[in-house]
Copies of this chain bind each other. A is one copy, B any other.
C-alpha cells in the first residue's frame, strides 16, 4: 500500500490508509489508546488497541495501517482505527530535552538550538522554514521571469579587499585565502561577462565579533545584479515589485504558516524613498534622536521605521543617497548632489534587510576611486579587468534571507529563522 500524507487524508469512511510519522503524544485509556501521529504535513489521531502499543513512546517513528473513521471529537474530525502498527525507528532517550507536543517551546533559544533536530519537530518551528523556502522560490521565479540568470560564484577568495566587516581566513593549500563576505565583485563581473542580469542564492560570511539578535557568521544572501540600468531608482522599483511578488506567493502557499504567527501580509507594498539626510533630520527634529554621521544606528532604524509606518502606512522604507564616505569604493557617486552616492538601504520593520545601489562602470573612474579610498588598484585586477572591455551601467542589491524571514514572521532573533546558525559562540550542531 502506498503511504498517504496526513494533509491528504479526506473523510472516506472505512477507507484503508497507510500513514507514517512520529508519535506526537499518547493518551492511554486502558483498552483503547489514542496516538497522535505527526508527519511532515500534519497531525492525525490513531485509535489503537492496548496490546499493540508495546514499545511505543513519544517520538518513536511508526507506520500504521487502518481505516478512516469520522469522529467529531478528534482534533481534525477524522481518526484512523488502526489494524496494524509497526515501529520503524526506535527511541533511545531517557527524557526529551524539552516538550515539543504542546503550547510554545519553553526552553531557552540556546537550548533549542543545541537540540535543533528536536526543536524543529514542532510544526510551528518547521513552519518558519516553509515560509523561508517560499521566499527563496519567489525570489528565483520572479527574477527568472525578468530574464535573470542564476549563477554560483566562489566563496573561497584570494583577497580580503571587499572592505567592511572582518573576514574568516581559510588555509587553501598552504595559502591564506578568505571566505567571501558577498558575491559583489563576481556578480558585477558576470554582468560584464554578458549575462547582463544575474542572481545568486548562496552563503556569505562575516566574522562578527558581537553576538546580536540580528547578525550571523554565515548567512544566505539573495543577490541581484543588473546591467544596462538607468539609475538606482530602477533597482528600487525592481525590488519593490519583487517584494510584492513574494508576498503574494506567501499568501497563497503559506496560509496556515502565516496564521500560526498571526501574520497578515499587506495586499500591496508601496515603499517610500527618503534620502538619508532627510531621515536623520526627521529623527533629530521629531524624536530628538542623534544619528551617527552618514548612517542610522539600530535604534534610529527602529524609530524611523515606526515613523514611516505611521505616516505612509508602510513597513518598508528605502533610505537613499548614502554618503560616499560610508559606501564602498565601487558605489556610483551622484553627479549632481555633492558627496552622496546612488545607493540605498531597505529598512523593513526597523531592520536593514538590503543594501544596494548603482555601481561605477567606467574603468578609469573605478581605478580613480580605488585610489581615492587609499587602496591599491593592483590588488583588484581580477575584478577591474572586466571594466576594460566595455562595462555597461549596472547595479544591484542583496537581501539577507534569514533577516527577511525573521521580520515577516515577527521573530525576535535571527537564529530562529536559521536552521543551524553559526556565530561567535556557536559552531555546533
The answer to whether A192 and B40 touch across the interface, beta carbons within 8 angstroms, is no
Please report whether the interface of chain A is mostly helix, strand, loop or mixed according to DSSP: mixed
Contacts of A156 in B (CB 8 A): 168, 179, 205, 217-218, 422, 427
CB-based nearest B residue for A176: B171
Contacts of A429 in B (CB 8 A): 189, 382-383, 385
Contacts of A137 in B (CB 8 A): 144, 150
Partner of A173, one of B121, B385, B424: B424
Partner of A130, one of B149, B363, B419, B422: B149
**What is the 8 Å Cβ interface bit string for chain A, positions 106-119, against chain B (1 contact, 0 not)?**
00000000011110
The answer to whether B189 and A117 touch across the interface, beta carbons within 8 angstroms, is yes
Q: Beyond A63-B228, A126-B193, A129-B149, list 13 extra A-B contacts (CB 8 Å).
A: A22-B390, A61-B228, A88-B361, A89-B390, A117-B193, A117-B389, A118-B385, A121-B194, A133-B149, A156-B217, A170-B171, A186-B419, A186-B420
User: Contacts A120-B195, A203-B152; is A362 near B90 (CB within 8 Å)?
Assistant: yes
The answer to whether B385 and A427 touch across the interface, beta carbons within 8 angstroms, is no
Instruction: Please provide the 7 A-B residue pairs with the shortest distance between their CB atoms, ordered closest to farther.
Output: A382-B429, A120-B193, A117-B193, A61-B392, A61-B390, A40-B196, A117-B386
Interface residues of A (CB under 8 A from B): 3, 5, 20, 22-23, 38-41, 59-61, 63, 88-93, 96, 115-118, 120-121, 123, 126, 129-130, 133, 136-137, 144, 147, 149-158, 168-173, 175, 177, 179, 186, 189-190, 192-197, 201-203, 205, 207, 217-218, 220, 228, 361-364, 382-383, 385-393, 401, 419-420, 422, 424, 427-429
Q: How many copies does the complex hold?
A: 2
CB-based nearest B residue for A153: B420
User: Contacts A383-B429, A389-B93; is A150 near B179 (CB within 8 Å)?
Assistant: no
Most buried by B among A130, A189, A427: A427
CB-based nearest B residue for A421: B154
The answer to whether B170 and A179 touch across the interface, beta carbons within 8 angstroms, is yes
The answer to whether B424 and A220 touch across the interface, beta carbons within 8 angstroms, is no
A222 to chain B, nearest CB (A): 11
Partner of A158, one of B129, B207, B428: B428
User: Contacts A155-B155, A196-B40, A218-B156; is A363 near B90 (CB within 8 Å)?
Assistant: yes
29 A–B contacts from the bound complex (CB under 8 Å): A22-B194, A39-B196, A40-B194, A59-B389, A59-B390, A61-B392, A88-B228, A92-B363, A92-B388, A93-B388, A117-B192, A117-B193, A118-B193, A118-B386, A120-B195, A121-B389, A152-B401, A152-B419, A153-B419, A155-B218, A156-B218, A158-B428, A168-B170, A168-B171, A169-B170, A170-B170, A175-B427, A189-B429, A382-B428
